[in-house]
A = this chain, B = another copy of it.
């Protein structure tokens, strides 16, 4: 009998999440009921939103319950199906959670989706053509709708969301300036991703401010914020009249034990008649096909690149998650739990 290896949230973190917050268990896989599909996961996704779910307080979704399998995006293959739309061998994406297998009720809308791996590797459905890519697509195409010639800045630029955001903005004729941590990432953002420039926020005090001045000589029209903290303040200080800021995340603040650092330059919104708006990609599940179509075309045409940081083995999940918050991952962070 195949055993399912699962990672449960055992207790809630105070500050930084650690391996001690989780428990690895082995559970027998029950026999399938009518309508169910058994999926063997190949890759699990590691995403910043997971940290928020570990807290007790309700955010845009309910907290992750204690003693249950941690939530998370997954890609894999169907091992066994009692649903007419799926058969063994199908490549599928879903929210299978932190475990090696999942039993999915395929009648639930959106619970399991077949994907085409002819041109796009399976793991990319967790990144460039998955939730992060769609986040970027919605946050640029639907909420901002930029004009050619506008200056777009994006933080966490070498990550899955940032990479896609930049590619989508370049395709629309914008000047795109990334912000990332370290020379390697910045070189990658400019040389591989094709951004116009990238600012290394780790280059020393004042580096972001100076970089924005240098690389956004006409000011900032659009900012897609994944990080919060000082970088958000530095961008606020450089925005143009009628600028639009999307608040997609604030990874610098998620492990805080002290209160969140509010943007002390928020009155720049007033001075510049500018707007700051929050978005949550999970609202737009019905838009996925449209977004994925554009993003996978870019991948095929080489207009977008998706770097992955692959960690091996389910037992590495908690440690790998920490890499996200330390900025140690370089590209979309995924955990490989089975070979295809």
Contact = CB atoms under 8 A, between A and B. Distances in A.
Interface of A: 59-60, 228, 233, 247-250, 253, 259-280, 283
A270 B233 contact: no
Given A275-B275, A275-B277, A277-B275, A259 B270 contact: no
A272 B248 CA distance: 12
B262 A233 contact: yes
B283 A267 contact: no
A267 B248 contact: no
A11 to B, nearest CB: 23
Chain A interface helix/strand/loop/mixed:
loop
B262 A264 contact: yes
Contact of A278 (B233, B247, B272): B272
B271 A279 contact: no
7 tightest A-B CB contacts, nearest first: A262-B262, A270-B278, A269-B278, A262-B264, A275-B277, A262-B263, A60-B271
B264 A250 contact: no
Given A263-B263, A273-B277, A273-B280, 5 more contacts: A250-B267, A262-B264, A263-B266, A266-B276, A271-B280
Contact of A270 (B60, B261, B268, B272): B60
B269 A259 contact: no
Nearest to A262: B262
B279 A267 contact: no
**For A59, A265, A276, A279, which residue has the most chain B Cβ atoms within 10 angstroms?**
A276
Contacts of A263: 262-263, 266
A259 B263 CA distance: 11
Given A275-B275, A277-B275, A248 B270 contact: yes
